[in-house]
Amino acid sequence: MGEMIHYKDLGLANTREMFAKAVKGGYAVPAYNFNNMEQLQAIVLACVQTNSPVIMQVSNGARKYANSTMLRYLAQGAVAMARELDSNIPICLHLDHGDSFELCKSCIDNGFSSVMIDGSHLSYDDNVALTRKVVEYAHQFDVSVEGELGVLAGIEDDVVAEESTYTQPEEVEDFVAKTGVDSLAISIGTSHGAYKFKLAEGEEVPPLRFDILEDVEKRIPGFPIVLHGASSVVQEYVQLINQYGGHLDGAVGVPEAQLRLAAKSSVCKINIDSDGRLAMTAKVREFIANNPSEFDPRKFLGAGRDELVALMTHKNEFVLGSAGKG
Ligand code: G3H
Ligand code: 13P
Ligand code: ZN
């Protein structure tokens, strides 16, 4: 067992101040997932250039893919890169969808400044107990904790709305009080992945359940709320992917206008992974198709990275409103 690495020694910040400012300022902090260096470089460049606070988000799958030690050094490198670019934006390293106390502890012990414990699939009482246990450990080290109430629909679900269980507003006060969490992810109609809604020909994306969000806000005023599954599934990318040999039929996400509205409320963290995956895949496919004699990964990954910077710049400026808030 190695020694504990505290996030403050890596130049990272927890989410407390970021969220307080975001709730007050009517914007949301972007939480971008990453698994590799190019994604992380893009996150740093876009957030430095737009002067936006940022949450670099790591799933358990990302940890397995990239190696947890490698990830820590990448995150450390991201902070150093931002500072070399003369930027003082707050940067958080967050565990996305932690599913056990042990995983959360391992991240906290290895330099994460924030963790999510996702007990949303458990019974209410078990969710409270597990979340409370993580909070008790995390707060000893000033690490912030995100909990979740309500279940987001899975991407394989046939009838998305029926499979998701919206957050019950009556539960939020009790959950927050009993667990001591710093932020709460809620389910108001979003889902993970690129197929968020099943639409009939000519049908529009249904609006998110803003009525639930408003009820939650009334019960816990000013408490930081998190929106998962918030990619817009940018159609330009879907079309490019399909044009260059892909098959993404019926991929659809949350319209930007709805995210802008959410960002103005207590929603202060918006999670985006799928849009980055689509941007990278679209540009890599396009580059490879148009440059058949190139075989240097820097060329095609570089094309993907450039597009990621453009995507995140757009999100920070025009969707989340976090630009200029660093
Ligand atoms: O919510 C899930 C995130 O998009 C991470 O996905 O588990 O495939 O890394 P992953
Ligand atoms: P998307 O799949 O909509 O990008 O959501 C990502 C997410 O919620 C990560 O926790
Ligand atoms: Zn999520």
Cβ-based neighbours of 187, under 8 Å, separated by 6 or more:
120, 148, 149, 150, 151, 152, 164, 165, 166, 167
> Annotated catalytic, 96?
yes
Question: Atom of ligand 2 at shortest distance to CA of 275?
Answer: 4
Q: Other C-beta atoms within 10 Å of 171: how many?
A: 16
Q: Are 205 and 252 in contact (CB under 8 A)?
A: yes
> Please, what sign has the CA dihedral across residues 266, 271, 274, 277?
positive
Closest ligand to C-alpha of residue 192 is: 2
Q: Where are the beta strands (DSSP E) in 60-122?
A: 91-98, 114-117
How far apart CA 229 and CA 190 sit, in angstroms, is 5
Q: Mutual orientation of helices 68-84 and 37-49 as an angle, nearest 10°? A: 30
Q: Which fold has domain 7-320?
A: TIM Barrel (3.20.20)
pLDDT tens-place values along the chain, 326 residues long? 578 999 999 999 999 999 999 999 999 999 999 999 999 999 999 999 999 999 999 999 999 999 999 999 999 999 999 999 999 999 999 999 999 999 999 999 999 999 999 999 999 999 999 999 999 999 999 999 999 999 997 654 444 445 569 999 999 999 999 999 999 999 999 999 999 998 888 899 999 999 999 999 999 999 999 999 999 999 999 999 999 999 999 999 999 999 999 999 999 999 999 999 999 999 999 999 999 999 999 999 999 999 999 999 999 999 999 999 99
End-to-end CA distance of the chain: 36
Q: Is the CB of 33 under 6 A from ligand 1?
A: yes
Is 63 touching ligand 1 by the criterion CB < 6 Å?
Answer: no
